[in-house]
Amino acid sequence: MPELKRLHAGRAPAVLAFELANRTYFAASVSDRGDDFFDQFTDRYHASLAEQEAGICAFYVLVAEDGSVLGRFNLYDLKEGTARLGYRVAERVAGRGVATATVRELCRMATAVHGLRTLRAATSHDNAASQRVLVKAGFVPVGPATATDLGGKSGTWHQRDLQPWTQPQQEGHQGC
């Protein structure tokens, strides 16, 4: 069963392999990261880890049983109870509900682990799959996203207000 795990230094080779294997697939629906991303991958990866350590962002990967990365799920600009969500899943698991299930799990974690109350995500108009994922995960459209928001494409911002996550009580448990 795939597991959502926090990004750490040891995952760099698997993340790079994921990005390279899916580069063409991703470029069909989102702006290509460009050659510089891959040429400077190690430096960018360490910079991301530093941002995570500083509490600015939280980066997660969906890891298969064999250790390969099936997706990246990121929370950017954590401040005042809000963050931006970004994600991408491998072509080999696309269309199987993996992104929707993982975005839902990240929403739960956003509240339980990071204390967030609101998530926002932008999708381009031509990325219908991502729009479906967000709607199925409880996001609602809230306004236009500009080309600067989406790497050169226009689209829509979606938002989800999160409920505080609490551990369900066991039947008959009276609490403390």
Structure tokens at 42: 């190690």
The pLDDT score that the predictor gives to residue 30 is: 76
Count of C-beta atoms within a 10 Å radius of residue 16? 15
The pLDDT score that the predictor gives to residue 164 is: 65
**Is 66 within 8 Å of 54 (Cβ atoms)?**
no
82-89 vs 118-124, strand pairing mode: parallel
Q: Transcribe 95-149 into DSSP letters.
A: TTTHHHHHHHHHHHHHHHTT---EEEEEEETT-HHHHHHHHHTT-EEEEEEEEEE
The pLDDT score that the predictor gives to residue 14 is: 96
Structure tokens at 146: 């500009």
The pLDDT score that the predictor gives to residue 43 is: 95
The pLDDT score that the predictor gives to residue 21 is: 95
The pLDDT score that the predictor gives to residue 17 is: 96
Q: Which of 86, 155, 152, 149 is nearest to 125 (CA)?
A: 155
Strand partners, 58: 75
pLDDT digit string (tens) for the chain, length 176 residues = 899 999 999 999 999 999 999 999 988 877 778 888 889 999 999 999 999 999 999 999 999 999 999 999 999 999 999 999 999 999 999 999 999 999 999 999 999 999 999 999 999 998 899 999 999 999 999 999 998 888 788 899 999 999 765 444 444 444 33
Handedness of CA 17, 22, 23, 26 (dihedral sign): negative
**Is 155 within 8 Å of 147 (Cβ atoms)?**
no
The pLDDT score that the predictor gives to residue 1 is: 85
Contacts of 153 (CB under 8 A, 6+ apart): 30, 31, 124, 125, 126, 147
Give this prediction's pTM: 0.88
